[in-house]
Structure 1
Amino acid sequence: MSTSHPSDRPRLALIAGPTASGKSARALELAERESGTVINADASQVYRDLLILSARPTPEEEARAPHRLFGHRDGAIPCSAADWAMEAKAAIAEAHAAGRLPILVGGTGLYIRTLLDGIAPVPPIDPAVRQRVRALAAADARSALASEDPPAAARLHPNDTTRLHRALEVIRSTGQSILAWREARAGGMRDQVLLDVQKVERPIAELYARCDARVDQMIASGAIDEVAALLGRRLDPALPVMRAIGVSQLGGYLDGSIALEEAVGSIKQATRNYAKRQATWLRHQLQG
């Protein structure tokens, strides 16, 4: 752990908020005011395939201040939290070396926690264990986890299939709870910087209205064509880029299985649900 006085540490700003909250505008304002570099901390905005669906900054916005880690990764190459944290550390160091204020902006809690608090040193999961676990439906995974690792199960939403699978495969493959591994986190930079956290919060009704308006704007800006191009690449459906909100819904519209109105309504609902989860995480976990 660093023994330096907080005032001796370089400053790192974090503008955090749920989707459609206006955090990107806040970050850009700060960057212009304090000679900052805006660094993406959103898991979807790293992919160049998702310019519209992820609401990445426009070329006009990027021209107002340096931007890093936006659309820099091909969708065929998944970006893990550890991958992003390594890239973010390099971007932060680059900004500091140039005498600029690094400004993280985003709402992906796992990315932010991995950068600040380090990564849990979970060993590689047994492929056979992973295959069996990933084949389970959410309800079955939840039931198994409640039996094998009750504390971890109690922390997860019953429909959060991805995290249920992860927790179950960890306990089965390593014999230790994912909670225990998280306690052993290493590599974080929280104690190396003077962290300035600014949360962008809005009343839930206003946030939901902004989510709906954002989806309408995405459709008007060409989201359907963007998804058509992505699907045309025939990537593995399990890749993160293929699981982004809007891809499956507009894919359903493009293959004729659902009407556009239904697809848009589903995207809006999924976006509101995601924004609410982000807001909850920010309220209960993120501390400066």
Structure 2
Amino acid sequence: MDIANISTHGLPRIIVLGGPTAVGKTRFSLALAEAFGAEIVNYDSVQLYRHLDIGTAKPSAEERARVPHHLFDVLDPDQESNVADYMAMAHATIAEIVGRGKVPLLVGGTGMYARILVHGIFEAPPADPEIRARHRELVDAHGEAHLHAMLAEVDPELAQKFHENDVLRVSRGLEIYEQTGKALSVHQREHRFREPNYDALKIGLLRPREELYDRINQRVDQMMAQGLLDEYKELISRGYDRRLKPLQSLGYRQMQQHLFEDVPLDEAVEDMKVSTRRYAKQQISWFRKEPRLHWALAPILEQGAQQDEWRLPATVRDDIEAFIAGAPTDQLDLSWAQLDSHNVER
């Protein structure tokens, strides 16, 4: 098959697969990658970290051996990382894959990473230590609500997105306004009109709500059976501070509450299920706002002759093949990806 991994607009072609946790992205991505020789690039912010395997539902070693996987296990839990760091790694990885004539298949659930990767982000000025020190003094003197009220005066749209306790983000929003004389929300709106970085076919997977929630509950039970608690204990025994951001992520936070805050294990597990369902709902809301994302009803795949054999239906294969060969997304059939996400989720 001919691969036109550069579009007629001169942009590299990529496929982006998104959707909520436990929807079935891993299985679908493996079938797609094997069918077209694509290489999977992670955009889950926690799967970047080493030693956090069970709680992040990383692809298994066997799954990763089937097709090339990138940007898994690239950071230690105590390494600081931000969106800009991820973007640098991801852009370099995509360029390397495209340079070899292969198709990058981005898979994950951190929707913000995918959006910024494709569409870019407003490049804010670097942090100003003097401004941040002044903000800390204001918080110490008047409380977190005072700083949040200051942000609401100059950027009410941004202030609505942050809780007053989120001092770091509130301070950053104020800092950008003080540095540029313009609200961050205004910068972000203006930035949306720039050209994208890639020609992307974006696919979102979804399941009916009760089915998705059942899968989430089953996944949590499976994680516990696989040894999530022991995985967390191992992280602590390695000397990692339990206050580190990766160790505060879903699953690990609940194991911490059990071990250090006297929360019974069954209550911690139930909280993990409730919190994961809430997170899945947030993911769906985010992906719904993603421009030109085509929703499909999972699992999409057809059962093969073997129990663990899954194949892409012909309609899916035809569209993906046409996109890889150079067809614009608006010329694809995509009848399999015309789902009304609002109706299905109910």
With structure 2 as the length reference, what TM-score do the two structures score?
A: 0.72
Aligned equivalents of 1:140, 1:54: Cα separation in 2: 36
Aligned equivalents of 2:92, 2:282: Cα separation in 1: 29
Residue deviations 1:138-160, cap 9 Å, x none? Answer: 76654443234212223x16488
For residue 101 of structure 1, report the CA deviation from its aligned partner: 1.3
Aligned equivalents of 1:32, 1:19: Cα separation in 2: 22
- Equivalent of 1:261 in 254, 263, 266: 266
- Is the contact between residue 43 and residue 108 of structure 1 (CA under 8 Å) also seen in structure 2? yes
Q: Which one has a bigger Cα radius of gyration?
A: 2
Residue deviations 1:91-117, cap 9 Å, x none? Answer: 212222222211000111221122112
Q: 1:83 to 1:175 in 2, by over 3 A?
A: same
For residue 72 of structure 1, report the CA deviation from its aligned partner: 1.7
Matches within 5 A, 1:108-127: 108-127=110-129
Q: 1:160 to 1:212 in 2, by over 3 A?
A: farther
- Is the contact between residue 15 and residue 27 of structure 1 (CA under 8 Å) also seen in structure 2? yes
Could you tell me which residue of structure 1 aligns to residue 177 of structure 2? 171
CA RMSD of aligned residues (A): 2.9
Query: Which amino acid in 1 is paired with 2:66?
Result: R
Moved more, 45-54 or 166-175: 166-175
- Is the contact between residue 23 and residue 212 of structure 2 (CA under 8 Å) also seen in structure 1? yes
Could you tell me which residue of structure 2 aligns to residue 80 of structure 1? 82
For residue 47 of structure 1, report the CA deviation from its aligned partner: 0.2
Aligned equivalents of 1:27, 1:112: Cα separation in 2: 16
Aligned equivalents of 2:279, 2:144: Cα separation in 1: 18
Q: 1:223 to 1:140 in 2, by over 3 A?
A: farther
Query: Which amino acid in 2 is paired with 1:65?
Result: V
Matches within 5 A, 1:161-240: 161=166, 163-164=169-170, 166-171=172-177, 175-183=181-189, 185=191, 190-191=196-197, 193-235=198-240, 239-240=244-245
Query: Which amino acid in 1 is paired with 2:53?
Result: L
- Is the contact between residue 40 and residue 69 of structure 1 (CA under 8 Å) also seen in structure 2? yes
- Is the contact between residue 242 and residue 256 of structure 2 (CA under 8 Å) also seen in structure 1? no
Residue deviations 1:225-270, cap 9 Å, x none? Answer: 1111223344455543122112221012122511001111111122
Could you tell me which residue of structure 2 aligns to residue 252 of structure 1? 257
- Does 2:157 match 1:151? yes
- Is the contact between residue 133 and residue 168 of structure 1 (CA under 8 Å) also seen in structure 2? no
Count of residue correspondences = 282
- Equivalent of 2:38 in 22, 36, 40: 36
For residue 87 of structure 1, report the CA deviation from its aligned partner: 1.1
Could you tell me which residue of structure 2 aligns to residue 282 of structure 1? 287
- Is the contact between residue 116 and residue 189 of structure 1 (CA under 8 Å) also seen in structure 2? no
For residue 39 of structure 1, report the CA deviation from its aligned partner: 0.4
Q: 1:182 to 1:53 in 2, by over 3 A?
A: same
Q: 1:265 to 1:172 in 2, by over 3 A?
A: farther
Q: 1:25 to 1:7 in 2, by over 3 A?
A: farther
Q: 1:150 to 1:54 in 2, by over 3 A?
A: same
SS in 2 for 1:196: strand
Aligned equivalents of 1:52, 1:246: Cα separation in 2: 9
- Is the contact between residue 109 and residue 278 of structure 1 (CA under 8 Å) also seen in structure 2? yes
Residue deviations 1:202-227, cap 9 Å, x none? Answer: 22222222222111111111111111
- Is the contact between residue 82 and residue 119 of structure 1 (CA under 8 Å) also seen in structure 2? no
Aligned equivalents of 2:40, 2:49: Cα separation in 1: 16
- Equivalent of 1:55 in 47, 54, 57: 57
Structure 1 regions of 5+ residues with no counterpart? none
Overall identity of the aligned pairs, in %: 36
- Does 2:102 match 1:100? yes
Residue deviations 1:16-60, cap 9 Å, x none? Answer: 111111112211111011001000000000001211111100011
Aligned equivalents of 2:102, 2:181: Cα separation in 1: 45
